[in-house]
Amino acid sequence: MKKARVINGAVVKVIEPVRLALFPPHIQAEFIDAPDGTETGDLYDGTTFSKPLSVPTVAEFVADAQKMMDEAARQRGYDDIKSAVTYVGDPNPQFDAEGTEYRRWRSTVWTYCYAELDKVKAGTRTPPATLVDFRAELMLNCPLNLPPQA
């Protein structure tokens, strides 16, 4: 068992009880019992300690955007988005149209993705809470408009 000081629902200090005993009583009164493993930054709701939810990293957002585009290309039988865009200018009109749309979409996704992540870094927007949230945001703001399959 440890002792934790909690301010506004967040653990700001964790200390061993034996060390806390060296402080005056009014300081000791600011600490509550906390289970082993409690760390600064953990959350406390008045009853239970928990770990904060972690926001995905920029690298994870970028990797998921790439995964989303690769998955979309695979739905039309391409190996990945890179393979799909090689069909721009193909003599087959269907492949050319699909390759052109995948290239346009890839550019739109990356432009939007990096612009929004730059806003997060600059502090002008909050980061998306999850990869699923950001993927939904990408699909809403960067629609893929493939031609009908022949």
Which residues, in sequence order, are bridge partners of residue 50? 43
Under 8 Å between Cβ of 110 and 85: no
Compute the average pLDDT of residues 104-120: 96
Q: In 9-148, where does DSSP find H-type helix?
A: 17-20, 25-28, 58-74, 81-85, 93-122, 131-141
Rounded-to-integer distance, Cα 130 and Cα 122, Å: 19
When pLDDT is averaged across residues 13-24 and rounded to a whole number, the result is: 92
Given this model, what pLDDT does residue 3 score?
95
* Per-residue confidence (pLDDT) for residue 62, from 0 to 100: 95
* pLDDT at residue number 8: 87
pLDDT band at 80 (very low <50, low <70, confident <90, very high): very high
Using alpha carbons only, what angle is made at residue 102 by residues 99 and 108, rounded to the nearest 5 degrees?
145
Q: Is the pLDDT of residue 51 over 80?
A: yes
Give the per-residue pLDDT at 54. 77
Confidence at residue 65, expressed as pLDDT on a 0 to 100 scale? 97
